[in-house]
Structure 1
Amino acid sequence: MDEVPKIQYITFLGQNQAHPSQMKNTIYDIAKIAHLSPAAVSLALRDSSEISTKTREKVKAIARKLNYMPNSLARSLVVHSTNILGVVVHEVNSPFLADIFQGIQEEANRQGYMVLYNPVSDSRESAVRTFVSKQVDGLIILPTSKTKDDIEYLIESNFPFVLFSRRMFDDRADYVVCNNEKGAYDMVCHLAGLGHKRIAYITYPAMNSNFKERFEGYYRALRDNGLEASDELVFLTRDEETDVPQNVEKLLSLKNRPTAVFTSGDIMAARVIRMLKERNIRVPEDIAVTGFNNIELSELYDPPITTVDHFGHEMGSRSVKLLLERMSGKKTGEPEHVIIEPKLVVRKSCGAGLSWAKS
């Protein structure tokens, strides 16, 4: 059940792979000759009213001189656009991203756009700059520490992009995220409502906004329900393969062991359940286990996992809509922050139907 499902509908843009237009000259070549920013050249080639008629004609003349129209797709850049959106992520096969990708793909296709995916790698050429050089119209990015400098570059270049899933550059970038703090809060309140007094939390370190906010929701729910917030009940996981088994052992070795475990993701919850079963600990009769994200695995696992739905499909769809509104000029001004409210999904792993659970 731990096998990661493959995403079949993704089209990848490799670091050394040519864009479908096979262009020899780029927007940067035009920008250098015209003494303009790449963003200004892009607007001029799209006949944007933000650029003067004189400058637009100058840019188009340079584009023609550079043979900046090697085929029909490239020629469309001068009049319209490539109708291609780029998606930059850290791990394309993550089940956490499957619903988000589907939302992106379906909304982009509905709006007449093709989607290319380029995973972040350790190569010298960044995924973001590769996409920009290949003339995509806009970018949808899952921000990480590896993309921070590139996002700064996009902001300075006025290149259209939207961040998703994680909050970064609050006052400078559009993003679409889930209310992670509320999701964690609701889950812990649910467990407290079932009668659990000691609720453990197995999580990744607070290395990005998602896990930081889930930490905050966990602690706030404990306080609001008059429960102990003890460091011995928090277990950090950096590598699931090695750390989850160790954390389960530590959890079970506690003199006053918890009766419920909240984890920061469904894959982690599934691993915890498996580890407990191997030690003849019943879930949920002995220890309740819950997750986060509501990936497909959570419904299929035994027992089905109580989790938090972050509405990944909606996150992907709204990311595309927001990006296209920026690209068209329909939305201007201050950054737009879309916060999607999560939903508690109660299944068997929390023990809600057991006789000892409160109604």
Structure 2
Amino acid sequence: MTTIYDIARAAGVSIATVSRVLNNPNMVSEKTRRRVEAVMKELNYSPNIVAAALSSKRTYSIGLLLPDITNPFFAEIARGAEDEGNRHGFNVIICNTDNQLEKEKNYVSLLLQKQVDGLIFATAETDHQVIREVHAKNLPLVLIAREMRDLVLDAVLVDNRKGAYLATRHLLDLGHRYIAMVSEPLTITSSIERLEGYQQALEEAGLAVQEKLLFQTPSTLAWGIEAGHRLMELSPPPTAVFAGNDVLAIGVIKGIREKGGKVPEDVSVVGFDNTILAEVSDPPLTTVAQPIYEMGILATRKLINRLQSKTSSRVERTILQAELVVRKSTQPPKCNNYP
């Protein structure tokens, strides 16, 4: 069986250098790290994870809790987190909670039993008891895409308010004045912030926010379709819709069509996320782009840096910028339906 001593001898480095490549790769120059990793691959070396855990009191594993892995947004976050974890020798355990509290509690309990080194939550809500309990145990954790307003934790976020403002401003600039919003429930901070951006744009245009044009719904295609049906049943229906994410936007488009409407001829639709769905939808979806893959990388790097004592005890909130991507799902209204 190949040992760390064999790797050091073949790579022409010290045993300590090999150990740093395995445990603290950022402390080794890229040239040396690549040479050592190439020798490991050539000699088919597999580190003894159990032994490493005993000596370092780490398992080199991270739990990533997602609400819905079928949503391309969370799938891309997972890809970024997994890639960054692997670069630093950490395994990322992905848990799909389906937004079910009991399921999340069970996953967290299992992860704690497995003694994961830290957790990344993409499931945070404004009042989230599971996260509070984990935080009380002093286990390192990072929030991604969502946060808790009354609990200050490391987080990687996007400027949701600005992104929603850009989406609504785009529709206003096209001439729309009767704009609906379909969002996830307002128990999620990102949904609250996107609603605030939507409201800001309307208020700046001198338009009132109308409750009948605001829909909160679970983030699934089926619920997006239902929202599209309900919007088309309004009298008059809106000329434009801002959807809180791409999944809901695609559902809204389908719902509008099932009620005889056309997108964008009758109703313009804007999404949020810029997932692969936005590019392949019919018509291609105008949406707000988040650096999703980068968010997964940064959240994992932030957690690993804290585990390796490379960051101060000060909490760090990283807020990334959102950008509007204009495609074919929006155009000026045929007529102004504003009642």
**Equivalent of 1:100, from 74, 77, 88?**
77
**Equivalent of 1:78, from 41, 47, 54?**
54
- Higher deviation after alignment, 233-242 or 166-175: 233-242
Residue 216 (structure 2) aligns with: 236
Instruction: Report SS of the residue matched to 1:291.
Output: strand
**C-alpha separation between the residues in 2 aligned to 1:171 and 1:239?**
25
Residue 141 (structure 2) aligns with: 161
Q: Deviations over 1:273-293 (max 9, x none)?
A: 122223332211221111111
Is it true that 1:186 corresponds to 2:162 in the alignment? no
Distance of aligned partners of 1:350 and 1:106 in 2 relative to their CA distance in 1, 3 Å threshold = same
**C-alpha separation between the residues in 2 aligned to 1:82 and 1:188?**
46
Residue 202 (structure 2) aligns with: 222
1:200 partner amino acid: A
Q: Deviations over 1:188-224 (max 9, x none)?
A: 0011111111111122331210111111111111011
Instruction: Report SS of the residue matched to 1:167.
Output: coil
1:76 partner amino acid: A
User: Could you tell me how far 1:124 is from its partner in structure 2?
Assistant: 9.2
1:209 partner amino acid: T
**C-alpha separation between the residues in 2 aligned to 1:203 and 1:326?**
34
Q: Deviations over 1:170-202 (max 9, x none)?
A: 553111111111111110001111111111112
Contact kept, 8 Å, 1:303 with 1:349, in 2: the verdict is: yes
Distance of aligned partners of 1:164 and 1:246 in 2 relative to their CA distance in 1, 3 Å threshold = closer
1:310 partner amino acid: Q
- Higher deviation after alignment, 117-126 or 101-110: 117-126
User: Could you tell me how far 1:131 is from its partner in structure 2?
Assistant: 1.2
1:118 partner amino acid: C
- Higher deviation after alignment, 231-240 or 314-323: 231-240
Is it true that 1:115 corresponds to 2:92 in the alignment? yes
**C-alpha separation between the residues in 2 aligned to 1:350 and 1:167?**
31
**C-alpha separation between the residues in 1 aligned to 2:222 and 2:162?**
29
**Equivalent of 1:343, from 305, 323, 337?**
323
Distance of aligned partners of 1:91 and 1:271 in 2 relative to their CA distance in 1, 3 Å threshold = closer
**C-alpha separation between the residues in 1 aligned to 2:257 and 2:82?**
38
Distance of aligned partners of 1:89 and 1:253 in 2 relative to their CA distance in 1, 3 Å threshold = closer
Residue 312 (structure 1) aligns with: 292
Contact kept, 8 Å, 1:183 with 1:217, in 2: the verdict is: yes
Alignment of 1:130-169 (within 5 A): 130-144=110-124, 148-168=128-148
Q: Deviations over 1:44-81 (max 9, x none)?
A: xx9xxxxxxxxxxxxxxxxxxxxxxxx94222123233
Distance of aligned partners of 1:322 and 1:189 in 2 relative to their CA distance in 1, 3 Å threshold = same
Q: Which runs of 5+ in 2 are unaligned?
A: 1-22, 24-46
Distance of aligned partners of 1:253 and 1:82 in 2 relative to their CA distance in 1, 3 Å threshold = closer
Contact kept, 8 Å, 2:71 with 2:247, in 1: the verdict is: no
2:292 partner amino acid: G
Residue 9 (structure 1) aligns with: none
User: Could you tell me how far 1:248 is from its partner in structure 2?
Assistant: 3.2
Contact kept, 8 Å, 1:182 with 1:342, in 2: the verdict is: yes
Distance of aligned partners of 1:145 and 1:348 in 2 relative to their CA distance in 1, 3 Å threshold = closer
The number of aligned residues is 286
Instruction: Report SS of the residue matched to 1:292.
Output: strand
Instruction: Report SS of the residue matched to 2:329.
Output: helix
- Higher deviation after alignment, 273-282 or 130-139: 273-282
Instruction: Report SS of the residue matched to 1:221.
Output: helix
Residue 5 (structure 2) aligns with: none
**C-alpha separation between the residues in 2 aligned to 1:235 and 1:168?**
22
Instruction: Report SS of the residue matched to 1:155.
Output: helix
**C-alpha separation between the residues in 1 aligned to 2:109 and 2:74?**
22
**C-alpha separation between the residues in 1 aligned to 2:126 and 2:103?**
11
**Equivalent of 2:257, from 235, 260, 277?**
277
User: Could you tell me how far 1:239 is from its partner in structure 2?
Assistant: 7.4
